[in-house]
Chains A and B, each alone.
Chain A
Amino acid sequence: MSAHSHAADDPHAALEALKETSTGIENKKLAMWAFLASDCMFFGTLISTHLIYRKIYPDIVDPKAIFDIELTGFSSFILLMSSFLMALSVSAAHKGNIKGVRWFLGGTIFFGLIFLCGQVYEFHHFVTDFGLTLSSNVFGSTFYVLTGTHGVHVALGIIWLGSWLVYTFTDRYKAEHALDIEVAGLYWHFVDIVWIVIFTVVYLVEYVPFLT
């Protein structure tokens, strides 16, 4: 029996119907995975640019003197927690638990906003206290472009998730939209894994002892 015939009665059947593609994967999800794969390459070039210029011009800036690893560490915890809440949000959407979707999406957005506030504070601190701007030196250029691009991804994710949060309060939200929440979740988790890499290669390695 076709899953379509159940779709009107059962949210699970409605979601299963969306899998009736040649790959067995929902088209939206497949498109998002393809986009994330391309975004990997984008961030790969930004990260390698930063690393290369850190190696070529090691003495332009002493990152340990300007970084606030406690703040950055706190931001990392916040982003990981937002990822956890996003996973719960997707789970709630698949269960048809609309209240859960709202609460968890709200929590994800809240933590995402805290992360962004931390990044704005960090940038403001660097510019006002250390005079590090996008054009002051090559470290500033690569650092702001890399972390700023990630911040823009976070901001876009917050807008996307926020629009879904609003949508859940309308009558138009249906069980099939669990897939859309899941696709938005994939994007949000990707933002998290990019930060995992940035946190290590941009921030933590600067604190490794005996590095000259």
Chain B
Amino acid sequence: MIPSPDPRLPESGHAAVIAEEHKKYFTFFNVSIALIAITAIELVIVYFPINKWIVLTALGVLSLIKFLAVIWWFMHLKWDRMLCTILFMIGMVIAGGTVTALMFLFEEDPAGPPMMFMLF
């Protein structure tokens, strides 16, 4: 037997969505502030007279954090089904693999270390 519809369900469902979205507002605000702060750090860190590998590593890590923050919160992967994350990561892995393969392919000395580890 099909249960009779609860007349309060639409309202309560919509109210729940509004409450959830209200919480997301603060999350989005905090993420955006963090993204601005990280970008500011990136702009400053390149002028630091320290070992280039430290700077390059820091830039890579900070960019990765920004990248992940945007896809996780702004692009709703945190709240969406895992399939969306898997689908996007398949593209990312293939893209990353292509970049790595090209770096090896165009290596001046194929027997030497990969170019991506000795850029510039």
Partners in one complex: yes
- Interfacial residues of chain A within 160-212, with CB under 8 A of chain B in the complex: 182, 185-186, 189-190, 192-193, 196-197, 199-200, 204-205, 207-212
- Interfacial residues of chain B within 67-99, with CB under 8 A of chain A in the complex: 67, 70-71, 73-76, 80-81, 83-84, 87-88, 90-92, 94-96, 98-99
Asked if A41 and B98 sit within 8 Å, CB to CB, the answer is: yes
Alpha-carbon distance between A211 and B47 when the two chains are bound, in angstroms: 12
Nearest Cβ in chain B — how far from A76, in angstroms?
5
Alpha-carbon distance between A207 and B98 when the two chains are bound, in angstroms: 26
Measured between beta carbons, the chain B residues less than 8 angstroms from A11 are 14
As a 0/1 sequence over residues 12 to 30 of chain A, the CB contacts with chain B under 8 angstroms (1 = contact) are: 1100100000011100011
Nearest Cβ in chain B — how far from A204, in angstroms?
5
Asked if B87 and A205 sit within 8 Å, CB to CB, the answer is: no
Nearest Cβ in chain B — how far from A27, in angstroms?
12
Known: A13-B13, A204-B46, A211-B52. A86 touches B74 (CB 8 A): yes
Asked if A192 and B63 sit within 8 Å, CB to CB, the answer is: no
Alpha-carbon distance between A20 and B60 when the two chains are bound, in angstroms: 40
Judged by a CB distance under 8 angstroms, whether A138 is at the interface is: no
Judged by a CB distance under 8 angstroms, whether A158 is at the interface is: no
As a 0/1 sequence over residues 89 to 124 of chain A, the CB contacts with chain B under 8 angstroms (1 = contact) are: 011101110000000000000000000000000000
Given contact pairs A40-B95, A48-B99, A204-B59, a sample of 17 additional A-B residue pairs in the complex whose CB atoms are under 8 Å apart? A1-B2, A1-B5, A11-B14, A12-B16, A30-B84, A37-B92, A37-B94, A40-B91, A41-B94, A41-B95, A49-B102, A51-B103, A51-B116, A55-B119, A77-B36, A84-B74, A211-B52
Could you list 25 examples of A-B contacts with CB < 8 Å? A5-B5, A10-B13, A11-B14, A12-B13, A13-B10, A13-B13, A24-B81, A33-B87, A40-B94, A41-B98, A44-B96, A52-B103, A54-B120, A56-B108, A69-B46, A83-B32, A84-B74, A94-B17, A186-B75, A193-B67, A208-B52, A208-B55, A208-B56, A209-B47, A209-B52
Chain B interfacial positions (CB closer than 8 Å to A)? 2-3, 5, 9-11, 13-14, 16-18, 21, 24-25, 28-29, 31-32, 35-36, 39, 42-43, 46-52, 55-56, 59-60, 62-63, 66-67, 70-71, 73-76, 80-81, 83-84, 87-88, 90-92, 94-96, 98-99, 102-103, 106, 108, 115-116, 119-120
